[in-house]
């Protein structure tokens, strides 16, 4: 397994575009710290975003994993490009000639996906921990280490999404087409065809149940937006007489759905690779 990972890291290190995207991804996550510097001190308007509670434990776990999950497209580009380069540079054929089996080839890619997911999860945790220790109003150990299930949801979300990108990159062989297919799947297939069809057949509640099992929707359900938990938003909704509260928990069944799709994408990738004449 270590040998397979080494092969993939060497390929990435020799690819300038991939290195740029990876560093940009982690750099943007670090930029979350810049949010704390937003201050307005011009009476009568005095505003400091760090005083609004967004860095309070355990809210920061939810907020930062949700924000970071939007940046996963950077790694998605790296993954589909990695697969496209295997075909365009014919390294996949050379690896098989050198004795690497198709199963080992796919395993090396999946190990890289797992590595990306683990590294990103750890990095977001450390950045959030430092910001929380600096700006949170609550520093009790029990509060700090509560609601950590958002990181489990974040890890599984990345794992499922990157595995889907791996399959699309293998299926389409061109990074731009693979990303285009991903956008069409989300915008046209899931959110138009499936959602509208399910609405007509099963009604509102039934359509929500159907959508829960769609891959990208299932990944989205793992970490629900935390903005409506923001105390300023809650105060405004109370004044307007509206209820914006949602179910913010990371549910075990959503985790299982995404893990199920992860297994399906890995199986389809192996079946496709095994059948394809390289």
Q: Indicate the pLDDT class of residue 6, thresholds 50, 70 and 90.
A: confident
Report pLDDT for 185.
84
Query: Within its chain, how far is the Cα of 53 from the centroid?
Result: 24
Helix (H) or strand (E) holding 259: helix 252-275
Segment 32-53 shows an average pLDDT of 65
Q: Indicate the pLDDT class of residue 149, thresholds 50, 70 and 90.
A: very high
Q: Report residue 43 as tokens.
A: 């009476």
Q: Indicate the pLDDT class of residue 91, thresholds 50, 70 and 90.
A: confident
Report pLDDT for 241.
66
Question: Dihedrals φ, ψ of 245, to 5°?
Answer: -65, 150
Task: With H, G, I as helix, E, B as strand and everything else as coil, classify residue 129.
Answer: helix
pLDDT in tens, 225-273: 888 877 666 666 666 667 667 788 999 999 999 999 999 999 999 999 8
**Could you tell me if 4 and 104 are in contact, meaning their C-beta atoms sit under 8 angstroms apart?**
yes
Task: With H, G, I as helix, E, B as strand and everything else as coil, classify residue 100.
Answer: coil
The residue among 262, 254, 251, 253 whose CA lies nearest residue 161 is 262
Report pLDDT for 223.
93
Question: 153: burial class by Cβ within 10 Å (0-12, 13-18, 19+)?
Answer: buried
Question: Dihedrals φ, ψ of 46, to 5°?
Answer: -125, 115
pLDDT for residue 46 is more than 60: no
- Strand bridging mode 45-48 / 39-42: antiparallel
Segment 150-162 shows an average pLDDT of 96
- Residues 246, 249: Cα–Cα separation, whole Å: 9
**Could you tell me if 125 and 149 are in contact, meaning their C-beta atoms sit under 8 angstroms apart?**
no
Segment 56-65 shows an average pLDDT of 90
List, in sequence order, every beta strand (DSSP E) within the chain: 39-42, 45-48
Segment 112-138 shows an average pLDDT of 91
Listed by start position, the domains of the chain span 2-275
Q: Indicate the pLDDT class of residue 275, thresholds 50, 70 and 90.
A: confident
Q: For residue 214, what is the DSSP state? A: S
Task: With H, G, I as helix, E, B as strand and everything else as coil, classify residue 42.
Answer: strand
pLDDT for residue 4 is more than 80: no
CA angle, residues 85, 90, 93, in degrees to nearest 5: 125
pLDDT for residue 186 is more than 90: no
Neighbours of 26 (CB within 10 A): 16
CA angle, residues 159, 162, 165, in degrees to nearest 5: 150
């Amino acid at each position: 397994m270590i040998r397979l990972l080494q092969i993939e890291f060497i390929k990435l290190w020799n690819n300038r575009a991939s290195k740029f995207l990876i560093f940009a991804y982690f750099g943007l996550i670090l930029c979350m710290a810049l949010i704390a510097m937003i201050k307005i001190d011009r009476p009568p308007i005095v505003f400091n975003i760090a005083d609004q509670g967004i860095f309070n434990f355990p809210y920061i776990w939810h907020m930062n994993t949700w924000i970071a999950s939007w940046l996963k497209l950077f790694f998605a580009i790296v993954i589909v490009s990695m697969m496209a380069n295997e075909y365009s540079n014919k390294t996949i054929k050379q690896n098989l000639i050198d004795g690497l089996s198709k199963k080992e080839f796919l395993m090396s890619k999946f190990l890289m996906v797992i590595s990306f997911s683990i590294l990103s999860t750890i990095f977001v945790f450390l950045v959030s921990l430092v910001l929380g220790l600096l700006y949170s109003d609550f520093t009790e150990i029990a509060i700090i280490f509560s609601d950590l299930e958002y990181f489990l949801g974040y890890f599984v979300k990345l794992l499922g999404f990157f595995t889907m990108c791996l399959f699309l990159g293998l299926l389409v062989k061109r990074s731009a087409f693979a990303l285009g297919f991903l956008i069409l799947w989300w915008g046209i297939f899931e959110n138009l065809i499936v959602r509208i069809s399910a609405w007509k057949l099963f009604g509102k509640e039934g359509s929500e149940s159907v959508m829960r099992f769609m891959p990208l929707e299932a990944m989205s359900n793992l970490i629900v937006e935390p903005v409506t938990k923001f105390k300023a938003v809650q105060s405004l909704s109370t004044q307007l007489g509206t209820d914006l509260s949602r179910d913010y928990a990371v549910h075990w069944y959503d985790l299982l759905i995404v893990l199920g799709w992860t297994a399906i994408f890995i199986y389809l990738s192996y079946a496709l690779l095994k059948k394809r004449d390289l």
